Amino acid sequence: MVIQYKCPNCGSDMSFDSESGHLSCPNCGRQDEIETFPETNIIRKFDPDEAKEYHCENCGAVILTEAQTTATHCSFCGAPVLLADRLTGDLAPAKVIPFTISKDEAVAAFRKWTNNGRLTPRGFTSGDRIKKMTGMYVPFWLYDIEGKADVEALATRVHSYTSGDTIYTETNFYDVRREIDLSYLKVPADASEKMDDELMDKLEPYNYGELKDFKMPYLAGYLAEKYDYGDEELFSRIETKIVPYIDSYIGSTISGYSTLSYTNKQIQTNKKNVYYTLFPVWMVYYDFDNKEHTFAMNGQTGKVVGKPPISAFKVAAWFTGIAASVFAVMKVVAFAVGGVLW
């Protein structure tokens, strides 16, 4: 089933506007609340041989999609279309964070970011070689984690005092135990095979204040994908992600000791709730030196991640600059204090 949103005024295809958070008509400028958009203007077209291909309601062209695509544009007439059967049932997202950064803002934010690249080549910093910017809803699983930790440790407190001409060093040993109920909320893991995990982790954090219940119109005008990995498959990734957090929390509950060595550490984590969620990401494809570089931008906060090209000259220049100035400063201080330069 293909879904398109038709403007109640002029019948054009509407798309989601990140600035107002409404459905907006590119033709007449009409804006509609997502919650109250009239049912009659939602065109649902069912193809009998839908397993193989989808057809655009406007022009009848075949919509070219990959198996994961849930929202895209008609490659012929450009109308925003949603592939509804890939967004319903088991595949229905529970939550969505809508785009708050428009394409123009994304371009500006990306240029600003390239400008700040201290180690990138000069041609790269101008930021004017953007080949393509794609706004994309990336599937994530959000986990509410519940857990228990039970740790035992051997701790010492050391203090020393002098009596007569003898220094006494007293070491007190303690058995320490902590039992802790743990809770972490909405820890994300990206469920798309295509997206680099490390890149997606660096895009965090998102502001959950704008987390909305999923409605299809949010996707109109953007690309969207469905998950490749189920929530069970990704839970081990979540565990490795939160174990350092748990460790640091445990450490914070034990204080006042000189040394601490754990003798027993048991941590159990279970998922309490899982939310299938779509996060907004701008993918930036940038041409430089005949090579395409891919960057990702958090569509809500504007944070940019991705490996930029590195200029060996700039690296060398920064290194020599810093080393030379540190050396000069140390020399000046040494001269001021000791009165000798060499």
Partner 1 sequence: MKTCQVNWLRTLCLMLVFISVSGVAALAAADEHIYDSANLLSESEIADLEAVAAKYSQEQDVDFLFLTTADENMPLITDYMGDFFDEWSIENNQKNVVLLTMNIATRDVYLAGFGKAETTLDNKRVDMVLDRIVPEMQNGDYADAFRETVTTSSRYMEYRPGVNPENILLKSWFQLLVALLLGAGVVGFMLYNSGGRVTTTASTYFDGDHTRVTGTRDQFRNKTVSRRKVPKNDGGSGGGFGGGGTTGGGTSFSGGGRKF
Which residue, 34 or 176, has its beta carbon nearer to partner 1? 176
Which residue, 20 or 171, has its beta carbon nearer to partner 1? 171
CB of 25 to partner 1, least distance (A): 36
Rounded CA gap, 194 and 123, in Å? Answer: 29
CB of 168 to partner 1, least distance (A): 6
Q: Which residues of 263-275 are buried (b: 16+ CB within 10 A; e: fewer)?
A: eeeebebebeebb
> Contact at 8 Å (CB) between 281 and 296?
yes
CA separation, residue 138 to residues 19, 68, 190, 225, 281 (Å): 20, 11, 7, 6, 7
Quick one: which of 209, 219, 189, 206 has its CA closest to 86? 219
Which residue, 47 or 201, has its beta carbon nearer to partner 1? 201
CB of 258 to partner 1, least distance (A): 13
How are beta strands 15-17 and 31-32 bridged, if at all? Answer: unpaired
CB of 30 to partner 1, least distance (A): 38
Rounded CA gap, 83 and 136, in Å? Answer: 15
Which residue, 92 or 324, has its beta carbon nearer to partner 1? 324
CB of 332 to partner 1, least distance (A): 8
Which residue, 46 or 173, has its beta carbon nearer to partner 1? 173
CB of 48 to partner 1, least distance (A): 45
Rounded CA gap, 138 and 130, in Å? Answer: 21
For residue 116, what are the contacts with CB-CB under 8 A and spacing of at least 6? none
Which residue, 36 or 248, has its beta carbon nearer to partner 1? 248
> Contact at 8 Å (CB) between 76 and 83?
no
